[in-house]
Amino acid sequence: MSDQTKQISEIIKRVKLELEIAKKSDEYALGQTHEIAASLNEKGCKVDKAQVRGLENLANTTGKISEITDWLKIHIGRDTKREKWSFNGIGHELLSALENLRTDAKQITKTLSQYVLDEDFERQVHLQLCREFLQHISAHFEYEQRNLENEKSKKRAEDAIAAGSVE
């Protein structure tokens, strides 16, 4: 295979990979990420924006999936009061969801098998899918938090008006 053919093959692989990951990312945005973010925003759960963003930032800066899962395991283990990552099993649910992304990574690798020259390709795809998944959780989490804050403010204003303390 000539150098030019290899370069063209690499470009095609990258474009197809980006398309496949974008498709999966859009699926994640409409699916389980909403449920996980909603669980993180449930009354009684004390996971805050800094923790969610910290996990997202870790995913975007690490080259290892195990660093992401280890971070979650450490935070689940430290949550002895079951108010944060252990709240209603949310941390375990997220760990399971991230592991299940491996199936999508295998499917993408199979789809692009004629272009795959790297035996680490599937792991790299899995890592990128984890990043996309966590990005959606972070976005949904912050959006839902803002909606909850707006609802509380509206309720307080309505209560104040009903009580006659605000004209």
Question: For the residues of 39-90, what is the DSSP string, one character each?
Answer: HHTSTT----HHHHHHHHHHHHH-S-HHHHHHHHHHHHHH-TTSSSTTGGGH
Cα–chain-centroid distance for residue 132? 6
Encoded tokens for 163: 């009580």
pTM of the full structure: 0.83
List, for residues 90-129, the tens digit of each pLDDT value. Answer: 999 999 999 999 999 999 999 888 876 678 999 999 999 9
d(CA 106, CA 151): 42
d(CA 33, CA 138): 9
Place of tokens 């989490």: 141
d(CA 43, CA 163): 26
List, for residues 15-54, the tens digit of each pLDDT value. Answer: 888 999 999 999 998 888 988 998 988 888 899 999 999 9
d(CA 139, CA 146): 11
Confidence of residue 165 (pLDDT cuts 50, 70, 90): low
